[in-house]
Each structure stands twice: as structure tokens, then as C-alpha cells.
Amino acid sequence: MPYTKAISYSGKSLYKKCPRKWHRAYILGIKSPPHPKAERGTLLHNKLDKYFLGEQVYPAGDKCLAPWQSYMENLNRFSPASEAEVAVDSNWEPCAFDSPNAYFRGKKDLDVRTAIRKHIYDWKSGKVYPDHVLQGQAYVALDPEDFARYCVKFAYLDIPRYVRSWHYSADDKKRFRDEITQEIEVIRMDETWDPNPGDECQWCELSWRRGGDCKAAP
């Protein structure tokens, strides 16, 4: 039977790394416990979310966020939308995040609108990874509004005021949607979930080296 639940960028990314790990997490419902670094990132996200929602003053007492105060306060002048949950159906039409018709979905940390451009922000803690550009493209594909231009910005909170930006057009948005549709259909129709051995096997709980039953791990 095809997989019919909504797929997120993180799920799509996990499948690309290893279909068997995706099967364990999303079909069997067995997810790995969060890493302490992920918990720290969630805490930083929550502080910024509360600030942009107007629930607290800027958390300048946080050593990591303190250098970002003027940057974030300037963003706040534009009345941005924080923690925007977005979902689309298989026709890429907007739908409720928890809708049974949801096909692809995600959560953007911040949206800033101008007359012709949508600025999409994502907060990252830890290292700078090259695949973040793909996550940004997924945000553009998910955006329910039609803009001539998109600018995706990843703010790396552990590197004071370091922001990476990518600029896209409406045509790029359509291309991203076509590419993501193809990826999602592969995931939905898979029935074998063959493992994809690689460097990350050394940390995988499914690996025979860590007591699991995956013999494909090197």
C-alpha cells in the first residue's frame, strides 16, 4: 500500500540518507531519542519564537543570542510571522497542517513580506551544512503565496551575525515543486526500504556493529 501521510523535509531527507531508517521512523513509528544538541537548538528556537510573537522581551541574557539582538530587533520592525506551519495537498494547494490530504508540509521560523518578495528565515544552531540550501528550497516550494521573488536566509546562531542567503524566482519555485513531487512519489511507492550504507552507519542503531540487525552497514 502506498504511504499516504504527509511528508516533511526532514522525512524526505532521512529517506534519502537511508530508506530503512525512514521506514523505522515513519512506518514502524520508532524514532531515535533527540540528541542534546537538538534539544539546545529547540530551546533557542523557542526563545526567538516567543520574542517574535510578542510574549517576551528579547532574550539578551542568552550568551548565544546576545550578539543577534540588533539583527533580530530590526527584523521585528517588519511585523514578521513567526513559526508559520504550512502544508499543501498533492496539487500543491494550501491545506491545514494536520489535514488528511496534506502531502508535503513544514514549519518556517519566520516570514517577512514586502511588496514583491517573501523573505523566509530559518534559525540554525551548530554547524553549517551544505544541504541547508535544499531545506530552503523546500520552504520556497511550500510557500502558499505567489511572489515574484523569494529570499531564503539561514541565520547560524552559534556564529555571531552569520547569515547565508539564496535568491529564487517564481519559476524556481515551480521547479522545486516538480522535483519534490518526484521525490515524494518515490517514498510513497517504496515497499522494500532497502538500506543505503554510508558514513553515518557507524552511529546508526540499526547497524550490526551497534547491536542491530542491518548487515548492510560497513
Domain contains 61? yes
Residue 34 has pLDDT above 80, yes or no: no
Domain contains 172? yes
Domain contains 91? no
Domain contains 217? no
Residue 164 has pLDDT above 80, yes or no: yes
Residue 1 has pLDDT above 90, yes or no: no
Domain contains 140? yes
Domain contains 94? no
pLDDT class of 111 with cuts at 50, 70, 90: very high
Q: Report the chain's mean pLDDT, rounded to a whole number.
A: 94
Could you give the CA distance from residue 22 to residue 124 in angstroms, rounded to a whole number?
23
Residue 175 has pLDDT above 90, yes or no: yes
Range of lowest pLDDT (31-35, 128-132, 171-175) = 31-35
Q: Which residues contact 133 (CB under 8 A, 6 or more apart)?
A: 166
Look-up of cell digits 502544508: 87
- Residue 102 has a pLDDT of 98
> Model pTM greater than 0.85?
yes
Domain contains 37? yes
Look-up of cell digits 517577512: 112
- Residue 12 has a pLDDT of 98
Task: Using alpha carbons, select from 37, 7, 16, 6 the residue that is nearest to residue 131.
Answer: 16
Domain contains 200? yes
Structural domain of 28: 7-85+99-210
Average pLDDT over residues 113-131: 94
Q: What total number of domains does the chain contain?
A: 1
CATH of the domain at 155: 3.90.320.10
- Residue 36 has a pLDDT of 72
